[in-house]
Amino acid sequence: MKKSNILVNRQLLIGEIEDSMFSSFLEHLGRAIYGGIYEPNHPTADGDGFRNDVAKLVEDLQIDLVRYPGGNFVSNYNWEDGIGPRSKRPTKKEEAWKSLEPNWIGIDEFMLWSKKVNIKPMIAINLGTGTVDSAHNLIQYCNANDNSYYASLRRKFGSKEPYNINYWCLGNEMDGDWQIGHMPCLDYCQKAHLAAQKMREVDPNAKFIVCGSSSIDMITFPEWDRTVCENLYDDMDYLSIHQYFYESTTENDYYASYLAMNNYIDILRSVIKYAKAKNHSKKDIYFCFDEYNIWYNNKKLEDNYSIAPPLLEEFQSVKDTIVFSGLLNTLLNNCDVVKIACLAQLVNVIAPIMTQNKGMAIKNLIYYPYYYFSRYCRGVTLKSSIIKGDKFASRFGEAYYVSEAVVQNKEGIVVLLTNYAEEEMLVNVQLGGYKNIEVIEHLLINGGNLNAKNTFESPETVVPKKAINSVVIQGENVDIKIPPFSWNIVRLKAD
């Protein structure tokens, strides 16, 4: 049996975990919107055409923010196509995902759905083909409470009261040559600066997320990020980070994804510190990790131009879920700088929720660790140190067989453990400064078949199960047995 020793002290905190850590993303891509959240002919559809079965699964996740409407989609999107009577909205070719966009759902419908499922919006603007004036007009439509043209249009088509949207993404992945309207970094900085200026004229309280690197593998990383932060420091509140993980080289490299994510964040910590010093600023900039997940499906898109074709629909396996859970641990362990994190995406597109047209909605396997992450990890992250434990080699450096995060919430202590080893692990967690420690629950996901998945034919092939007699407590020492290749959450009460 492998062993790992983790040292924790209640006085040593990484930071407070913002509610916005528990956020997600919806794009006009595949069946995320049409056939995902919206399907007026579905048996569970409400009077506005939104699927109640999907809404219930979303509400259970207690999502804080949802980023919308893209994604690559947004860089060729005219938001005015999605307002007004549906019968007058144009159907257009959508070039990012080679689909037809009917514009049945636009900003007003998205805000209506957001209210139904109790989430807050984070809206991305088009800085690809879009103009600074278009960005100004959009925030005026959404947030102005005057008699201006676009505020009056909102009252006519959407809501009498302003939407008061706080979070705005200044474009999407503008460093990527695949992005419609891709431009050199300094050109992006100039356009984003002008957009931020014009938008703040409408709403001085608006928070802006600027485009950082689309991946740690970009040839322009981290130079793009440095240039953006140097030039936009006074305009920005958050730097956007994107990263998807998949098994492209060795199995060990895949398991070490949690370390790769941590390395990415560490590099950008230095970039932010440098930009702050160069700008002689007292303001702190944080990270918005607004796209992360496991993603395999990189098939070439077909030019079929249909409405809501099934794109990027993946059923995650036990192995994928183990890797995914490590990413959640890394986000928690960087909560001092990562203040927003959006699981990409929410429905059907590499998502925790999968649907059939006119049929069922099910929980993809990654739904479960995210559910417990959102339910029980609101509080502060305690600094945890592995002082003894086996490691394995990866292209990202040596990685521990155990990925961990420890959270203190109102209920007590939550210990999150992922075991990447093919044998059982005994983890000793020393909780310094706590007393009267008791076990509430130990839940886990594991399986002899790492490729097992939940599907429409078998939606509960793998579900979390309770571990019995797996935790032994002696004073401040908590010994936890965790199975091979497993995700674990241990909830404790303590004084």
Catalytic residue positions, numbered = 173, 291
Omega cis (within 30) before 82: no
Rounded CA-CA distance 349/25 in Å is 10
Picking from 226, 234, 231, the residue whose alpha carbon sits closest to that of residue 267 is: 226
Rounded CA-CA distance 352/20 in Å is 18
Q: Looking at the DSSP assignment, which residues form a beta bridge with residue 294?
A: 245
Rounded CA-CA distance 16/407 in Å is 10
Picking from 157, 168, 185, 155, the residue whose alpha carbon sits closest to that of residue 123 is: 168
Residue 247, φ and ψ in degrees, nearest 5:
-85, 90
DSSP per-residue string spanning 6-32: EEEEEEEEEEE--GGGSEEE--SSTTS
CB 86 within 8 A of CB 140: no
Count of C-beta atoms within a 10 Å radius of residue 397: 12
Measured in whole angstroms, how far is the alpha carbon of residue 115 from the centre of its chain?
Answer: 20
- Paired sense of beta strands 477-482 and 471-474, if any: antiparallel
CB 79 within 8 A of CB 134: yes
Q: Which residues of 440-472 are buried (b: 16+ CB within 10 A; e: fewer)?
A: eebbbbbbeebebbbeeeeeeebebeebeebbe
Integer Rg of the chain from CA: 23
Q: Looking at the DSSP assignment, which residues form a beta bridge with residue 488?
A: 417, 444
Picking from 379, 254, 241, 258, the residue whose alpha carbon sits closest to that of residue 325 is: 258
DSSP per-residue string spanning 76-118: G--GGGGSS-GGGSPPEEETTTTEEE---S-HHHHHHHHHHHT
**In angstroms, what CA-CA distances link 296 with 91, 248, 293, 314, 329?**
30, 9, 10, 8, 21
Q: Which helix (H) or strand (E) holds 427?
A: strand 425-432
The token pair that represents 168 in the structure block = 């705005």
Rounded CA-CA distance 347/51 in Å is 12
List the beta strands (DSSP E) in 118-166. Answer: 120-125
The number of residues in the chain equals 495
The token pair that represents 432 in the structure block = 């310094």
